[in-house]
Amino acid sequence: MATCEQCGNEYAHTFTITKDDGTSGVFDSFECAAAAMAPRCAHCGCTVLGHGVEADDTTYCCSHCARISTGAEITDSVGV
């Protein structure tokens, strides 16, 4: 059995996630994988589980955080 790198649980059905930069980890759940490997919003620090927003090569959880941090003129919805 392998051990989850996030919570330490020994589990028979772990899985490995490898990011494009070669960073990888072994996890027992998607919750642990997200906690360990998902990007964080550069403004508020929340976990970015969806596409997020990029401004100035930095990831944000939403356009509000990107606007506050960078002044980028972006919105989450068309026509807003």
d(CA 45, CA 68): 13
Q: How confident is the model at residue 80 (pLDDT cuts 50, 70, 90)?
A: low
Q: pLDDT tens, 4-49?
A: 999 999 999 999 999 999 999 999 999 999 999 999 999 999 999 9
pLDDT at res. 79: 63
Domain ranges of the chain: 1-37, 38-80
Tokens 């490898």 correspond to: 18
- Work out the number of other CB atoms within 10 angstroms of the CB of residue 34: 15
Give me the phi and psi of 28, to 5 degrees please: -100, -10
Q: pLDDT tens, 45-59?
A: 999 999 899 998 999
Q: pLDDT tens, 54-74?
A: 998 999 999 999 999 999 888
Locate all alpha helices (DSSP H) within 1-80, ordered by sequence.
30-37, 63-70
